[in-house]
């Protein structure tokens, strides 16, 4: 199991995230577009400044639906927020596989499951400047995907308060 740390920049017009390894080296960062209708973001490898994933919100949806695209803008995963009364639900579909996210999204603590196997878990660090998370990943082959997914889930549940949850 590997541990990573996610920090969201405070006082920024756009959402900016940095992902750190155990040695506090930046390994990925995220840039978003200001005033984007589709909430576009780029997940970038820090070592070579290359885009690993792109995110964009699908329009004309009652519940948020995001697409995760590769560097060539091919859709590789769809992240859907499902309607639920007591607990929010998220379903991720990626190349014939599906992932369920369980936990308390609003308190920033949740787990990502592939079938019955926990592949990642996220815990918010409460005494920090800005939002900081510890991410534990059990699947070494898809670390970048899970890290990008955590950022996308954070974005989905904590979009700016002045935006409506219903998009047009």
Confidence of residue 102 (pLDDT cuts 50, 70, 90): confident
| Torsion angles phi and psi, residue 10, rounded to 5 | -95, 150
pLDDT: which is higher, 142 or 32: 142
d(CA 38, CA 40): 6
Report pLDDT digits (tens) over 48-94: 999 999 999 998 888 889 999 999 999 999 999 887 777 778 899 99
DSSP H/E element including 146: helix 143-157
Contacts of 94 (CB under 8 A, 6+ apart): 68, 76, 77, 78, 145
d(CA 80, CA 151): 14
pTM for the whole structure: 0.86
Report pLDDT digits (tens) over 7-42: 987 655 566 899 999 999 999 999 887 666 677 899
pLDDT for the residue 56: 93
d(CA 115, CA 100): 8
pLDDT for the residue 21: 95
Mean pLDDT of 109-118: 90
Return the residue matching tokens 């519940």: 63
User: Domain spanning 2-157 has what CATH number?
Assistant: 2.40.160.200
d(CA 158, CA 23): 28
* CA distances to 42, 92, 108, 133 from 125, in Å: 24, 25, 9, 5
d(CA 29, CA 7): 10
């Amino acid at each position: 199991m590997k541990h990573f740390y996610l920090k969201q920049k405070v006082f920024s017009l756009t959402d900016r995230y940095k992902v750190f390894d155990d040695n506090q080296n930046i390994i990925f960062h995220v840039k978003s577009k200001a005033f984007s209708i589709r909430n576009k973001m780029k997940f970038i490898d820090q070592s070579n400044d290359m885009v690993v994933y792109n995110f964009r919100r699908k329009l004309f949806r009652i519940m948020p639906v995001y697409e995760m695209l590769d560097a060539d803008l091919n859709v590789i995963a769809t992240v859907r927020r499902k309607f639920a009364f007591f607990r929010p639900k998220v379903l991720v579909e990626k190349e014939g596989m599906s992932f369920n996210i369980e936990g308390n999204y609003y308190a920033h603590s949740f787990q990502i499951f592939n079938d019955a196997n926990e592949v990642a878990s996220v815990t918010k660090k409460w005494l920090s400047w800005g939002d900081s998370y510890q991410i534990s990943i059990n699947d070494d082959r898809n670390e970048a995907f899970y890290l990008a997914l955590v950022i996308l889930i954070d974005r989905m549940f904590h979009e700016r308060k002045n935006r409506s949850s219903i998009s047009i």
